[in-house]
Chains A and B, each alone.
Chain A
Amino acid sequence: MKTAAIQLINKYRGGLSFSSRVFMLIFGLMFIQLTFITTNFHQTLLDTLEDQVGKRALIQAQEIASDPELIQEVRIKNIAAIERVTDRLHKISDASFIVIGDDKGIRLSHPDKEKIGFPMKGGDNAGALQHGESYISIREGSLGYGVRGKAPIVDFDGNTIGVISVGYLLNRFDQWVALYFKPLVYELLLSLVLTLGGAWLFSKHIKKKMNGMEPAEIAFALHLQESILSSVYEGVIAIDRQGKTLAVNKSAVQILGINQHFEALKKNSLLEFITNYQFFFKTPYEQNLKDEIITLNGKTVIANRVAIYNDENLIGWVVSFRAKNDINSLTAELTQIKQYTENLRVMRHEHANKLSTISGLIEIGEYNSALEIINSENNKKQQLIDFITSRIRLKKVAGILLGKYSRAQELGIELQFDPTCQLLQLNAPIESSDLSAIIGNLIDNAFEATLKNPDSNKIVTVLITDAGNDLVIEISDNGCGISDDIASSIFSRGVTSKEDRDGHGIGLYLIQRYVTNAGGVILVDDAEPKGTTFSIFIPNKVTTHEFN
């Protein structure tokens, strides 16, 4: 109820709907145009009529004025004879009136007999009587407003003896205008009706094309669509049957590593930027594809394809995909949680065992043995922490070693630190964060390799020392080793056997660069009986002390 009211208010606030506005606009424009044309035509018609009728009146007046019989009768002012002449003329002329006046402007003939003998009205006789001119005059006369032609009556001696006025009154005009104007009015009305219908149909058509939505709603829908596209984590690409891009979101661009301006993509065929696009056009076209593992631009992704229809016609597809690594890391996390719970169960079991041993020892009075058991496990770890914190005085490196130690425990691997480990100061020309990244990454590699070798003794040894002239880092595992086919290229960019995790996965390529920049070398060797040893030697900076 309330929402309905709000909708109503919004409707009024927003004014008329778009289609109504289109309708009003078209109709209004046409109406104004037609009114303008009509007014113009009417005026022109009136002007033309006036001109034509005026000339007609003038010519008649001149013709009548040249009638010798009339001249004769006017000269002797034979009113009866003049009337006979004008009566005859009235019958053959369509003029409203024919008035004849003498040289003083006194009527000698008039349709209204009672007005004979009185002066002519209108005051427009001067030109004819005094100057002998013929002209058209539009005046209010005794019979009403009208157009009249005036001509002087000149006798055989050249004297102006009277004036003739042939007039057409306005009511006659109106008849003519009506005559000429009527069809036009019909046409105008017809075209107005047609415009009305056309505008209505057009606005209806637009409304239908816009799915009955207002422009603001369309803009909102478009904005919403873009927001949804950009908010999803998956890459989304919509293409038509020719492979032209209909829509593409940022995730897709990112996942595929397309180095193109976002807008440019929409103009071009996306397929120019994608290798291996067979998936997009896999037959049968109508079939929706789900969770297929494919490779796009060198990235392994899990992709879906859904066909888009427009009234039963297949117009394209929406392909959505997600980097496989994302899903893998989720799975890995889940596995880790499982492993963790398993570890917890084992630990609880061990704990219970220990508690019963301790209680037994206390019962028989072996207090020292009980204390020993309590402290033994702990001591190992405490000693390790003490060892690392006293020997490795670079906080970042010590932190990463402790972190890797606990990670090793989770993985069931023993991380052994060489008893001669020491890193008192960073004398080598390398950042401590880079150094810890290198160490962390090498240890991760070792863990991974160890887990891949089922016969491994599961020991990873670490030697870090700055006792000599070089900073020495050596990490050995009893893992799967490095296969010969990638041995020569392990330091190249993009060669890896694992996913980036924890942000430490900087890769051997970067390790190589860090070490080389610091002026050091990396040695890769096979360990006995199986596995790999990575050794890094970075020369310490020559201190001023040694220099002297």
Chain B
Amino acid sequence: MNLIDVLIVEDEVGIAELHAQFFRQTLRFNPVGIASNLVMARSMIRIHKPKLIILDNYLPDGRGVDLLREIVADKKATQPDVILVTASSEMDTVKEALQCGCFDYLLKPISYERLQETLNRYLKYNCAIKAFDNISQRHVDDLFNMQVRDKGSSRLPKGIGELTLDKIKQVFNDNLGLKFTAETLGSEVGISKTTARRYLEYCSASGFLVVENEHGRVGRPERVYVRN
């Protein structure tokens, strides 16, 4: 199996060394270089052609996000994937990086446990890319989506409690044909409207309930749920 070349872009020598150490311990990743600023990073990308870059956002000569932009914009070069590392207060940078399409975002201080998760995901993603060598990114995304969906259907998703769900199903089973809104169900079961909406939408997605949008009071339509 080929090793995946990793470039570390980090201006703190100590942290960079720690990263390198971490990658050396893994079996699949090989740290090929440490760049302490954007200029070094650019030349190292050219020379080493790494497949993955751990990119710190805060560098002495600019922002990591800008390098990410350059990498994404450069259509000719083989595009390495980027894991952006930002301080936890820079949520706007995360937003920016997300729109540029970086592989993952880690907040400083980096938890190596979390980094390991990312790397596992990256390996899977890499396999998928190889397997579907010629098909579009869209399919790869679909593949990922599928995994998320599958996870949801196998057992109850987070936020859906078994107890509450049973209670709600009971109410609907007891009142066959009766229409409920989030409000009426909420007061019936004793949960907030927001929570009621969550469960009702979950039930309608799973096919237990049918939804109708009705014209209720003047100017205020209502969304009603009824047992399928």
Contact = CB atoms under 8 A, between A and B. Distances in A.
Name, among A395, A425, A467, A527, the residue most crowded by chain B CB atoms within 10 Å (CB to CB). A467
Given A398-B95, A461-B194, 19 more contacts: A378-B88, A382-B106, A395-B98, A399-B95, A399-B96, A399-B99, A418-B194, A420-B158, A465-B205, A467-B201, A469-B205, A470-B211, A472-B197, A472-B201, A474-B197, A476-B194, A521-B221, A523-B220, A527-B194
Greatest chain B CB density within 10 A among A402, A406, A476, A528 is at A402
Contact of A537 (B96, B202, B223): B223
B92 interface: yes
A533 B194 CA distance: 8
Interface stretch (A11-19, A184-192, A231-239, A384-392): A384-392
Interface string B135-176: 000000100110011001000011110000000000000000
Contacts, number: 122
Contacts of A528: 192-193
A389 B105 contact: yes
A474 B194 contact: yes
B22 to A, nearest CB: 15
Contacts of B158: 419-420
B101 A395 contact: yes
Nearest to A401: B95
Interface string A451-467: 00000000001010101
A444 to B, nearest CB: 15
A494 interface: no
B141 A467 contact: no
A329 interface: no
A379 B220 contact: no
Given A378-B109, A382-B107, A402-B95, A419 B201 contact: no
Interface residues of B, number: 46
B118 to A, nearest CB: 9
B111 A467 contact: no
Q: Give me the 10 closest cross-chain CB pairs, A-B, nearest first.
A: A419-B159, A406-B91, A467-B205, A468-B205, A419-B158, A402-B95, A399-B95, A424-B145, A468-B204, A420-B159
Contacts of A375: 109, 111
A420 B91 contact: no
B42 interface: no
27 contacts: A378-B108, A378-B109, A382-B114, A393-B145, A396-B99, A398-B95, A398-B98, A399-B95, A399-B98, A399-B99, A400-B95, A406-B91, A418-B194, A419-B157, A419-B160, A420-B158, A420-B160, A420-B201, A420-B202, A422-B152, A467-B201, A469-B204, A476-B194, A525-B193, A528-B192, A528-B193, A537-B211
B134 interface: no
A525 B98 contact: no
A385 B192 contact: no
Contacts of A385: 94, 105, 107
A391 B148 contact: yes
A406 B92 contact: yes
B14 to A, nearest CB: 16
A488 interface: yes
Interface of B: 88-89, 91-92, 94-96, 98-99, 101, 104-109, 111, 114, 141, 144-145, 148-149, 152, 157-160, 182-183, 192-194, 197-198, 201-202, 204-205, 211, 213, 219-223
Interface in A125-180: none
Contact of A420 (B95, B198, B220): B198
Interface residues of A, number: 50
Contacts of A409: 91
A403 B111 contact: no
Interface in A420-436: 420, 422, 424-425
Contacts of B94: 385, 402
Contact of B194 (A398, A463, A523): A463
A390 B148 contact: yes
Given A375-B111, A422-B148, A463 B198 contact: yes
Interface string A311-354: 00000000000000000000000000000000000010000000
Nearest to A422: B148
B100 to A, nearest CB: 9
A371 to B, nearest CB: 9
A527 B105 CA distance: 35
A389 B118 CA distance: 13
A463 B197 contact: yes
Contacts of A395: 98-99, 101
SS class, residues of chain A in contact with chain B: mixed
A148 B132 CA distance: 130
Contacts of A465: 201, 205
A526 to B, nearest CB: 9
Contacts of A382: 106-107, 111, 114
A538 B107 CA distance: 35
Nearest to A371: B111
A405 B91 contact: yes
A535 B91 contact: no
A468 B211 contact: yes
Contacts of A290: none
Contacts of B114: 382
A382 B111 CA distance: 10
B221 to A, nearest CB: 5
Contacts of B108: 378
B199 to A, nearest CB: 9
A387 to B, nearest CB: 9
Contacts of B141: 393
A524 to B, nearest CB: 7
A219 interface: no
Contacts of B107: 378, 381-382, 385
A222 B55 CA distance: 57
Contacts of B223: 521, 523, 535, 537
A374 interface: yes
A377 interface: yes
Interface string A503-532: 000000000000000000111110110000
Contacts of A535: 182, 197, 223
Contacts of A347: 89
Contacts of B91: 381, 402-403, 405-406, 409
Nearest to A416: B194
B76 to A, nearest CB: 23
A468 B211 CA distance: 10
A399 B107 CA distance: 16
A389 B121 CA distance: 14
